[in-house]
Amino acid sequence: MPAPKLLYLPPPVAEEWDWQMDAACRDVDGSLFFHPDNERGDARENRMASAKKVCARCPVRQKCLQYAFDSGERYGIWGGLTEDERARVRSARRRHTSR
């Protein structure tokens, strides 16, 4: 008998999200961590640098970064890493595990 198909994902367990209550970004405007359409050059670099400063002082930075990897977050700055930086880490991990 085939396994039943899930029609929805189960809700997250609250305890798995408790770390977010301690995040340095908790009271910061979320747009700091996600670039608007057509943002380029100095504006983008300055925004990313500001976001990374918040992450640098965050007590749950590693948990945030792990969440981004575990959930496949493709956008935004998570745990102090940009989309491109996380993509490079994922690529390096794949190369390392394929040896």
Query: How many domains are contained in the chain?
Result: 1
User: 88 among the known binding-site residues?
Assistant: no
Does residue 8 lie in a domain region? no
Give me 19's structure tokens.
């770390």
Does residue 78 lie in a domain region? yes
User: What pLDDT score was predicted for residue 67?
Assistant: 92
Does residue 11 lie in a domain region? no
Give me 66's structure tokens.
């792990």
In the chain, how long is the greatest CA-to-CA distance?
Answer: 58
Beta strands in the chain (DSSP E): none
User: What pLDDT score was predicted for residue 22?
Assistant: 96
User: 36 among the known binding-site residues?
Assistant: no
User: What pLDDT score was predicted for residue 12?
Assistant: 64
**Average confidence (pLDDT) per 10 residues, the chain, 99 residues:** 63 76 96 94 97 98 94 94 95 81
CA–CA dist 28, 37 (Å, integer): 20
| Contact of 29 with 35, CB cutoff 8 Å | no
Global model pTM greater than 0.75:
yes
Does residue 15 lie in a domain region? no
User: 2 among the known binding-site residues?
Assistant: no
The closest alpha carbon to 31, from 75, 67, 63, belongs to 75
Give me 51's structure tokens.
């976001």
Does residue 74 lie in a domain region? yes
User: 58 among the known binding-site residues?
Assistant: yes
Domain assignment of residue 30, given as a range = 22-98
